[in-house]
Structures are given as C-alpha cells and as structure tokens.
Amino acid sequence: MCGIIGIISTNEVSSRIVNSLKKLEYRGYDSAGIATLVDGNINEVKCEGRVDILEKDILKFNLKGDIGIGHVRWATHGKPSKINAHPHSSEQVSVVHNGIIENSTILKKFLEKKGYVFKSQTDTEVIAHLVTDYLKKNSLKNTIIKVLKKLHGSFALGVIFKDRDDLMVGARRGSPLAVGYGPNENYLGSDSYALKSMTNKISYLEDGEFCIIKKDQIEFFEGNGVKINKKVMNLSKEDIHYDKGDYKYFMEKEIDEQPSTINDCINEYVDRYNNQINIYNFPWKINSFQSIVLIGCGTAYHSCLVAKYWLEQNTNLDVSIDIASEFRYRKVRFKKDCLYVFVSQSGETADTYAALELCKKNKMKTCAVVNVVESSIARDADLVLPIYCGQEIGVASTKAFLGQMLVLYILSIKISFDQKFITKKDYQSKIKNLLSLSNSAKKTLKLDHKLLNIGKVFAHAKGCMFLGRGYSFPIALEGALKLKELAYVHAEGYPAGEMKHGPLALIEEGMPVVVIAPRDDHYKKTMSNMQEVIARGAKVLLITNKNKDEVVSENIWEQIEVDKLNDELIPFLVTIPLQKLAFYSALEKGYDIDKPRNLAKSVTVE
C-alpha cells in the first residue's frame, strides 16, 4: 500500500510534501519520511509513527530544498521503525517505493558481494543500491531501463538523484502512480488524491512505464526507453475539501452521511420522473450474457455476496462470486457469455485489479463498480458504474459498502427488467421502494443511543458471533469484520443454520452474539437458531425490522428495530447498527478509529 509524493519546483517543497503525506496516511501510517536535495546533496528525515511526528522533526531539522520525495509506509519487508521508513538512500540516490520486490534477497546478496552495505530490512533498499551501481557506467535513462528489468514483483517508485535538482524519476509496475502538472513545477503521487490540492491536471503511468519529471516538462517512456505521449486528464474538484467537519472521526461522519450518499447514488441511476433505471453506457445486449461473476476483497466481497442473492432472486443469470486473491490464481474456465464485475472502493486493490487484468487478457466483458473513477480498475474496465459516495477516508469501509450494494442492486433490477424476468409493475414498484431507502436509513441512524452501551459489552468480550440467514448472512460477515478491524475483538460471521455443525461449541455463558433476523422468509428459522445459542448462555443482540406483532421470542438481551421495508432492501438498514456497534466498541477502548492497527485503506500489495 504505502503513499508516495514527489515535488519538483522553484520553491521549497518540504511543507507541501508533509501536507500531501497527511492526505496519504490512509494508505499506510506506521512510519513516514522525506528526502530533499540541498546544494545537490540528499537530506533525509524519517520517523516511526505518524506524519505529525515527521512534521515536527522536519521543523527541528529545518529541511530545505526545491525538489523532494515523501512516503508513508505500510510495512511489508521489515517491521515498522525509523530505519525501515522510506526514503531509502545511498550517497547517490534516494528512493520511495510502494509494492514488493520479490527478488530482493537475491539482489541484496549480489549487491553485498560488490561491497554495498544495507542499513534496513526492507526490500526497497536494494533499489537505491542497484541504481547507484548502474549509474557508475550508464546514463540516467539507461540506468532506469536496466534497473527496472532487474526488479521482479510490483512497484511504484519515486527517485531523486544527488546533484540533479533538475529532475526526478517515477516508474510503475503493478502499483498505481500518477503525475501532476503545475505552474513551473510538477508532481508525482501514488494517487491523484495526494495531488488534488496542487493541481487538477493529471496523467497516469501504465504498467511498465517510467517518466522523467522536470519543473517545466514531463517525459514518458515505455520500459525499453521508447518515448510515448500521455493524455492529460482534468480531475473534478469536488473532493478537494473533504474534511471531518464537526465530527471527531471520519468513520462517524461517513456512517452518518449514508442517507445522503444513498440519495446521490439513486439520483445518478434512477429517472424519478419516468420511474426507470438508466445505465446509459451499458455496452452489451442483455441476451449476450447468461452468467455473471462478482469479484472483490474484504468488505467489497461482502457486497458481492449480498448481490448474489438479489441476482438469483431477480434474474435468470447463473451467479458466482469470488475473492479476488483466489480468483486470480485459480484455473478459471472463462466463458464468453459471462459478465465479470469487479467491486472496489479504491479501484486500486492489487488482487482485484489483477483479476480484472486476467479477464481482459481472456477478452471477457468487464464491469467496474468503484468509488474512485480515476482509479486503475475504473480505467481498465469496459463499463464503469461509480457508487457516488464521495471520498471515504476511514480505513474501515462504511458508506462505500452501502454504495456498492446499492449499485449492485440497481444493476440487478435493471437486468431483471431487461430480461423480462419481472413485469413493468414489479420493476416500478422496486424502484419506488428504493426511493424510500434514504429516509429509512436516516431513521436507522437515530437508534444510536442504545448501541453506545451495547458497544461497551462487545468491546470487552473474549469473542463474539454474528448470525444471519439469506441476505443477512453476508451482513453478519460484514458486521464481524467491522468489529474485528476496529475493536480488535475476535468475531465470526456465520449462516445461522450452520451453528449446530460446529461453531455452537464456542458459545459460553455471557458471550455476546448478534442475530440479524428481519421478518423475511427466514425469520422463524433464525429465531430457532437464536434460541439455541441463548440456551447455551449467549447474550443476544437481535437486529430485526419493525412489525405490527411483537417479536415472538424470549430471553433476548437487547433488540434494535429498523424500518419495515421491502425484504430486498433490508441489508442496507441492518448494516447501519453493525457499523455503529463496531464504532462504539472501538471508542470504548480508545482505539484509533480511522486508522486501525496493521491496516491501510488502499491495498495495493498482494
């Protein structure tokens, strides 16, 4: 993952590099560093921990320089520490890197034999020494070409050179890299977000390419050194000023934004006047595919899992789902009549991107459901369906999960109607129901007060379970994932009907268990499963929806009731209390809610 920024200018750059690194912390936050050129010499400041610490050190050090590179790290090779923080420098060059150099051990041995001494345990340091070594006998451009050939694995690189305050180099294989164009200065960034405060003119490097960036010019090359031209894109300005507002945490804000992000997304896809769904750029005839495969990682995968139920319910497609890191290495039988859908908030997740590339290589029909429309996945897919939920900063995905489910639901009813699987009346009634979703989400957010106290119990539990059937099963998985990643509590999501096949053995006196049981076709069965865990000592938090009847069950510890909506829309509503539960559990423990330990927002390594 890791974040990269580089600036070459006629003014001092360190404070702007620090500002960009603060924005990039969502990509990694275990250590940070910066290197600039002062009188032709490389100067480094690095620290373990957050960019705030780096900023203080830079002030102490009074770091000057009109050209520099900066980095926030998510450790892969070597534990988080000052010595392992990037940049990694020799006397001649300084390098920042996102990705993994798979042959670093072999390269290190080769360089050590030549007398190079390594200070860190990182894979990145080999790049600094390798560049230094090739520079002895090669021009700068040839050095880059030769070094890139030597490196195996994935990388985005930023490099500055001693005595060359006129240029910096960027290179990419596997991990994304953007360049930005400014007035008498230019930039390098691991994504456009880092550059948005400085410019809205951006180009992206494609796999295998490198670039030489000067103050007034950027040259792009294929890996073999052949010069190429690049399109300059204009970025939208809308996300530039996204901040916490009156909230203490981005996650809290992002949960509360959901009613409006639902509305924004619906406004993009639903023609309220004609009561129909518009996906204008849908490039295929509806009969050209008989099956659909949905692919993602983590929370995005959970949205695929919910969509499987919708698509099976509403279309005659054969539906499969896959975890991207598994899909990309399996012997997949590609089918011409299949639509492959890639779901990713960031649009940069390495495994999801690799799965997309594999499908493209096999000439499959591809569709991306993403939040970041300038991302690699969005750029490479045949069809892009944005989720329109705005920048998501909290590492734990919340509003993007609802956005992903929403777009997948909209896609499923669009296909359903186009396939004539449902009547026009049913189609329009589904759309009408959808229009009330935002309001029901708003009401669900008000169930907050109870969850604050419930969260205190979950926070201190040894372990807990999340159970559901049907649509509520993937939501149980998502609820468990949120609690794990935010409150560091061991949590398992299970289909409620599976408990008696093993996991029931884990239930003991006082164990908190969330049962998600809306009044749908599964309700009675789930109620029985709930009683089975209560009988074994579980403290059950029941999440259901309102109904005229009382809940027909006993001995429930706590209960949350969301609105009564069409069954298909219940996954959206029952997710919200689970997000809040994880939030309050983490709050109770005083954990860093927006940046949980060991994680990062954009997972650009395998």
Which of these, 158, 19, 18, lies nearest to 88 by C-alpha position?
A: 158
Longest dimension (CA), the chain: 82
- Of 345 and 444, which has the nearer Cβ to ligand F6R? 345
Helix (H) or strand (E) holding 276: strand 276-277
- Of 177 and 356, which has the nearer Cβ to ligand F6R? 356
Under 8 Å between Cβ of 360 and 380: yes
- Of 44 and 348, which has the nearer Cβ to ligand F6R? 348
Tokens of 478: 């998502």
Q: How far apart are CA 518 and CA 564, in angstroms?
A: 9
- Position closest to ligand F6R via CB: 298
Question: Taking the complex as a whole, how short is the minimal distance between the CB of residue 346 and ligand F6R, in angstroms?
Answer: 3
Question: Taking the complex as a whole, how short is the minimal distance between the CB of residue 369 and ligand F6R, in angstroms?
Answer: 9
Active-site residue (options: 2, 338, 367, 464): 2
Q: How far apart are CA 72 and CA 48, in angstroms?
A: 10
- Cis? peptide before 503, omega within 30° of 0: no
- Of 297 and 511, which has the nearer Cβ to ligand F6R? 297
Tokens of 39: 């009188």
- Of 33 and 479, which has the nearer Cβ to ligand F6R? 479
Question: Taking the complex as a whole, how short is the minimal distance between the CB of residue 133 and ligand F6R, in angstroms?
Answer: 37
Question: Taking the complex as a whole, how short is the minimal distance between the CB of residue 344 and ligand F6R, in angstroms?
Answer: 3
Question: In Å, how far are 100, 103, 114, 249 from 107, measured between CA atoms?
Answer: 13, 6, 11, 43
Question: Taking the complex as a whole, how short is the minimal distance between the CB of residue 509 and ligand F6R, in angstroms?
Answer: 31
Q: How far apart are CA 435 and CA 550, in angstroms?
A: 27
- Of 35 and 582, which has the nearer Cβ to ligand F6R? 582
- DSSP for residue 24: H
Q: How far apart are CA 80 and CA 82, in angstroms?
A: 7
Q: How far apart are CA 112 and CA 399, in angstroms?
A: 49
Tokens of 49: 């921990």
47 is catalytic: no
Question: Taking the complex as a whole, how short is the minimal distance between the CB of residue 213 and ligand F6R, in angstroms?
Answer: 27
How many other C-beta atoms can be found within 10 angstroms of the C-beta atom of residue 443?
14
- Of 300 and 434, which has the nearer Cβ to ligand F6R? 300
**Measured between alpha carbons, how far apart are the two ends of the chain, in Å?**
9
Q: CA angle, corner 271, sides to 265 and 277, nearest 5?
A: 75
Q: How far apart are CA 178 and CA 172, in angstroms?
A: 9
Active-site residue (options: 23, 253, 308, 601): 601
- Please name every residue paired with 100 in a beta bridge, in sequence order, or none if there are none: 154
- DSSP for residue 86: S
Q: How far apart are CA 302 and CA 307, in angstroms?
A: 9
- Of 17 and 297, which has the nearer Cβ to ligand F6R? 297
Question: Taking the complex as a whole, how short is the minimal distance between the CB of residue 372 and ligand F6R, in angstroms?
Answer: 8
Looking at residue 130, its amino acid is L
Question: Taking the complex as a whole, how short is the minimal distance between the CB of residue 517 and ligand F6R, in angstroms?
Answer: 24
The residue count for the chain:
606
- Of 298 and 386, which has the nearer Cβ to ligand F6R? 298
601 is catalytic: yes
- DSSP for residue 569: G
Question: In Å, how far are 39, 59, 314 from 45, measured between CA atoms?
Answer: 16, 10, 57
Looking at residue 511, its amino acid is M
Q: Please give the residue ranges that form the binding site for ligand F6R (CB under 6 A).
A: 297-300, 344-346, 349, 352, 396-397, 481, 485, 603
Question: Taking the complex as a whole, how short is the minimal distance between the CB of residue 64 and ligand F6R, in angstroms?
Answer: 37
Which of these, 242, 214, 178, 213, lies nearest to 393 by C-alpha position?
A: 242
Under 8 Å between Cβ of 176 and 189: no
Which residues of 334-428 form beta strands (DSSP E)?
338-344, 365-370, 383-386
- Of 480 and 481, which has the nearer Cβ to ligand F6R? 481
- DSSP for residue 231: P
- Cis? peptide before 87, omega within 30° of 0: yes
Which of these, 557, 526, 523, lies nearest to 540 by C-alpha position?
A: 557
As a dihedral over the C-alpha atoms of residue 513, residue 517, residue 521, residue 524, rounded to 10 degrees, the angle is 60
Q: How far apart are CA 109 and CA 562, in angstroms?
A: 61
Question: Taking the complex as a whole, how short is the minimal distance between the CB of residue 414 and ligand F6R, in angstroms?
Answer: 22
Question: Taking the complex as a whole, how short is the minimal distance between the CB of residue 351 and ligand F6R, in angstroms?
Answer: 8
| Spatial CB neighbours of 63, under 8 Å, sequence gap ≥ 6 | 14, 34, 36, 38, 43, 45
- Of 130 and 156, which has the nearer Cβ to ligand F6R? 156
Active-site amino acid positions: 2, 601
